[in-house]
Structure 1
Amino acid sequence: MFKFRTDFNCCKTVNCENFGVVKSEDYIPQSRRLGYLSIECKLCGSNCPWINNELVNGIVKEKLDFQFARKLTHCPKCHQYFFFSERTDSKLHGFTSAGTQRKKCCACRTIYTVQNYKNIEALKLVLASIIANKEIRESIKASGLSARLYYFYLDKLSSIFANFSRLHEEEVMERSYLAMHTEGRVIKLDHKRGMYSLITSEVDSGYILLNSNNLTRQSVVDYYIYDESENTIITSNESDNLENVLTNRYQQNMSRNHFEQLLVGELKPVTKCNLIYPDKLAYIHFQLLNAFSRKADKYDHYIEHESTLRSGALMAAYEDIKKSNADVYFFVPFLNSREKLQGKKIGWWKDRWFSNELGAICPITCKLTDSADIKLHHSDSIDLFYTYIDQHMNKGINSINVIDQLSEIHRVIFNYCDLKNNTTRAITLGVAPQVYTPESLLQDALKMIMS
């Protein structure tokens, strides 16, 4: 089983000897020198905001169980998760009294039952209601199912699509090189409810690998519950000058109480859950991305120009960065700029920025001499997915379970069914042999899981 990082209170200055080192003698733990709780590194002078490790690690487990759990295939005891636990073999072991196939794990000897879906028609009805984007009450009424059964089959549909997707992703993620792109978006629902989501795509295909939100079922003390009306998200600049856009972004960042203070305006939580601050979600999301990056010999990560994301990305990739197996970059989209940045120093920290036809790129963990080294060739996948979610997500939902289930169903449909240049992102990534409709996707997913 893969071991997640459990302590995030350390220096996050890449060139400092204490970078990623926990409990250094150079630290002043829980310093308030700059007016906020931080860990101060006397060696480089940085003050990284203090992180509640217990909170982050608890929600990592919660998100892991939903995003990567093998609920439908393989041994439930020793092969619980896609990517994070090693696959085990099994052998046929008779049938249940109802005639359902049983298997026995060759590693731990656990006997488990192969999934068998008898009411496939109910799954099709629920899928049709999602595609039609009807209100939940309308969907339940149109399906002819009781409310209890509707939610039961919605959960099953989410698991089927997720397991189908992850099974294929496992097959192609072991590679020599991987490039990922991550940005954050606010998804608004009715009555001022909503969530902040981090979305990551595979660069070459635009395939959405992971979509995480800051909703949690965990009990959270009031101090860590998001309850803000202010908005510190860096706003778009209408300037047609790329350097002015970047300078303005730094100025907006400097106006915060501290650099990781990302506030996303007023968001009311849905029922029976809590909202956490976006900076905590960053540590969680990037930890989960190790599912994909750990399968690659070398990887690059292009992240939104946001200090909150920088810290999460660095801590998740710390060991690979130290081994020169991973690099992290800021990226700001800016199409067809007339100017060419070639290592221009911009901002408080004199960061070096480069540009190409897609936008501006700043290396965080390495040095560049030319922007030609940049492997980011597509930059609109996250915007397209966000637009897709905004158009297809039911705005009236008020349940964390339904939000998570619909988000995952839409992630898979977007990857396997939504067309761009007459093909799908799943085909380009190499996880699908054909263009699917949602209905044919369900049909093939059921065949794979039940076999």
Structure 2
Amino acid sequence: MFDARWVNHASQYELSSYYLPLQPKSNNGVLWFATGDAQTGYILCQHVNYSGDEEPLSDGDHDPYNDSCRLVCRGYAIEQDTPISSTSLVLKERIDLKYQAILARNNVEDPMGNLSHFHYPTKGALIRPPYTSYAHFLHVLSLCNDNRRVILYLPQDPVLRSAALSVALQRIQHKTIDLLYVDEDDNWNGTNSIDKIDILHMGWWRDRWAMTSNKEASKGICYLAGNNSDPKEWLNRASIRQIAFYQHRFQTLFEDFINEPRRKLRPGGLLPLLDIFRAWHNLCYQGRNGRTAAQNLGITQSPLTLKELLS
């Protein structure tokens, strides 16, 4: 009801997406994709690449003509390639190392290629991440009115980029969408001045990154599609921070629960919790200004209590 109230009355949709492993210490290949309002952090939808009521094939490579091609087989072989930790590096080095980690994958659109260890869930089946990413954006854009502009910010990764570009092809042709990568330091804020913008072409794709920095922090954007590529506007505006905060907060609050040894290979038990947490985050959780994401979006007048949410 609240989602419909937003998407039906919004004049445009300024969204950001993010993804990360659902259980960071399990190495079970389950990824969690989320998309929401970039400014308020209201989460529109989320999906995981896991199906609890299916069983995978015992072995075999990906065959797109097979009915079960979307499922990862139990004999899936990882490449023993540990991703490089780049959190403490400056922006340019962090982006470059991310490109190196992406190109090290057998399939650049499959983040499972960067796993150093892999333990298949004991029940259910894993879905290949690109299938989930495409389905995620099909669902997101199906909720958005075709006649209204969509702005979508993404972290630097082809698993999101390829899906978003393919699903949004008609909107790109009609010039009603803006797609861009965003990377910013943790201490970047909206009050940082932008005096100088450097343009660099990076990675195998020669992506055109616009970067700015000052004494405190740095930020970069890479405009992927649309008809408004002015870097200064996006450097001031674009951010994926709210969605990343939502996902990292879930993992912080429920760290012991999601990494409990018996649950590491049973991700299905977390799915109902994800639904409750999304509703709680949107309608109950009050930020520093004492307002919920739904209030900041203008679709509710007051926070819901947990009792009201679950009743």
Pair in the same fold by TM > 0.5: yes
SS, match of residue 30 in structure 2: strand
Of 73, 78, 88, 1:238 maps to 88
TM-score (norm 2): 0.77
- 1:90 corresponding residue in structure 2: none
The structure-2 alpha-carbon separation of the partners of 1:211 and 1:331, relative to structure 1 and needing over 3 Å to count, comes to same
Cα distance per residue 1:34-69 (max 9 Å; x no partner): xxxxxxxxxxxxxxxxxxxxxxxxxxxxxxxxxxxx
TM-score (norm 1): 0.55
The Cα shift of 1:433 comes to: 1.6
Aligned partners of 2:182 and 2:220 also within 8 Å: yes
SS, match of residue 302 in structure 1: strand
Of 285, 298, 305, 1:430 maps to 298
Paired with 2:145 and 2:306, the residues of 1 have a C-alpha distance of 30
The Cα shift of 1:292 comes to: 2.9
The Cα shift of 1:438 comes to: 1.1
Cα distance per residue 1:382-430 (max 9 Å; x no partner): 2322223212373244655532211111111111122212211111122
Aligned partners of 1:299 and 1:326 also within 8 Å: yes
Q: Kindly report which structure 2 residues correspond to 1:272-283, keeping only aligned pairs within 5 A, or say none.
A: 272-283=123-134
The structure-2 alpha-carbon separation of the partners of 1:379 and 1:321, relative to structure 1 and needing over 3 Å to count, comes to same
The structure-2 alpha-carbon separation of the partners of 1:295 and 1:172, relative to structure 1 and needing over 3 Å to count, comes to farther
Paired with 2:229 and 2:168, the residues of 1 have a C-alpha distance of 19
The Cα shift of 1:260 comes to: 1.9
Structure 1 residue identity aligned to 2:12 = Y
Paired with 1:320 and 1:374, the residues of 2 have a C-alpha distance of 23
Paired with 2:210 and 2:232, the residues of 1 have a C-alpha distance of 6
Q: Work out whether 1:225 is the aligned partner of 2:75.
A: no
Of 360, 382, 386, 2:247 maps to 386
Structure 1 unaligned spans of 5+: 1-166, 444-451
Structure 2 residue identity aligned to 1:435 = P
Paired with 1:275 and 1:244, the residues of 2 have a C-alpha distance of 33
Q: Which has the larger Rg? A: 1
SS, match of residue 225 in structure 2: coil
Aligned partners of 1:177 and 1:296 also within 8 Å: no
Cα distance per residue 1:253-292 (max 9 Å; x no partner): 2333342242252343444310122222211211111233
Structure 1 residue identity aligned to 2:169 = Y
- 2:203 corresponding residue in structure 1: 347
The structure-2 alpha-carbon separation of the partners of 1:183 and 1:292, relative to structure 1 and needing over 3 Å to count, comes to same
Q: Kindly report which structure 2 residues correspond to 1:22-421, keeping only aligned pairs within 5 A, or say none.
A: 167-174=1-8, 175-188=10-23, 193=28, 195-216=30-51, 217-221=53-57, 222=59, 223=61, 224-225=71-72, 227-229=76-78, 230-231=80-81, 235-240=85-90, 242-263=91-112, 265=115, 266-294=117-145, 297-334=148-185, 335-336=187-188, 340-355=196-211, 359-366=219-226, 368-373=229-234, 376-390=237-251, 391-392=253-254, 394-395=257-258, 396=260, 397=263, 401-421=268-288
Q: Percent of aligned positions with the same letter in both sequences?
A: 21
SS, match of residue 364 in structure 1: strand
Aligned partners of 2:41 and 2:246 also within 8 Å: no
Paired with 1:319 and 1:271, the residues of 2 have a C-alpha distance of 40
SS, match of residue 148 in structure 2: strand
Paired with 1:441 and 1:321, the residues of 2 have a C-alpha distance of 38
SS, match of residue 180 in structure 1: strand
Paired with 1:289 and 1:231, the residues of 2 have a C-alpha distance of 32
Paired with 1:326 and 1:370, the residues of 2 have a C-alpha distance of 16
The Cα shift of 1:302 comes to: 0.9
Structure 2 residue identity aligned to 1:372 = E
SS, match of residue 289 in structure 1: helix
Aligned partners of 2:211 and 2:219 also within 8 Å: yes
Aligned partners of 2:134 and 2:163 also within 8 Å: yes
The structure-2 alpha-carbon separation of the partners of 1:168 and 1:191, relative to structure 1 and needing over 3 Å to count, comes to closer
SS, match of residue 170 in structure 1: helix
Paired with 2:291 and 2:221, the residues of 1 have a C-alpha distance of 28
Paired with 1:310 and 1:234, the residues of 2 have a C-alpha distance of 21
The structure-2 alpha-carbon separation of the partners of 1:270 and 1:322, relative to structure 1 and needing over 3 Å to count, comes to same
